[in-house]
Amino acid sequence: MKRIVILISGRGSNMQAILEAAKAEQWPVTMAAVISNRPSAGGLSTAGESGIATAVVDHQQYADRAAFDTELMRVIDSYRPDLVVLAGFMRILTEEFVLHYQGRLLNIHPSLLPAFPGLATHKRALEVGVKTHGATVHFVTPDLDHGPIIEQASVPVLSDDTEDTLAARVLQQEHVIYPRAVKDFIEGRVRFVNGQVVRDGV
């Protein structure tokens, strides 16, 4: 059984999509823990209700980023994960953290990377006037939001879109591609080799 740890900061809808897919499709995994940097993250209770261990490492309790990441690594590693899934985890991670998990650390980003790395992706997409927007699942590397891409889904940008309507359309796709990418990783179809994504050994 592969062991998965999921990191969240908020409502955890991507986490929930992954938990539901794992259950429905009977993935050969143990959901080892859901960890949040925010004690108030809504996703913690969803995970708890599913019987999954939860933990909080509150970044506000640490003097700096390095101290927080060190403690976060200690807590994550206590669950012995084969895969660490960032699901709306709103923290910039130190290089030390990223390198410790590189190759088994996934993220979902709400844009078609390399367009719109960073925050406020939907707002920026509307401002620039792109006609197509979307989401990306990628391996995390020290270069923020630039790791090798596993999956993308695109959605149209409509003329009457607001940030909220666009975000909702993208989120719906996130819930499709993130569980699929996690499953592909768990079942060995997707790997990180020499900084690139290798799929099915190709």
N-to-C CA span, the chain: 25
156 vs 11: CA distance, rounded Å: 25
Residue 144 token pair: 């923020």
Closest residue to ligand GRF, judged by C-beta, is 88
Binding mask 118-157 toward ligand GRF (x if CB under 6 A, else -) reads ----------------------------------------
Q: What are phi and psi of 82, to 5 degrees?
A: -90, -20
**Residue in 13, 57, 5 with CA at minimum distance from that of residue 31:** 5
Binding mask 7-46 toward ligand GRF (x if CB under 6 A, else -) reads -x-xxxxx--------------------------------
CB of 193 to ligand GRF, least distance (A): 25
Q: Is 87 in the site for ligand GRF (CB under 6 A)?
A: yes
- Active-site pick, 59, 109, 138, 175: 109
Other Cβ atoms closer than 10 A to 172: 14
Q: Which of the ranges 73-81, 105-113, 138-146, 157-165 carries the binding residues for ligand GRF, by CB under 6 A?
A: 105-113
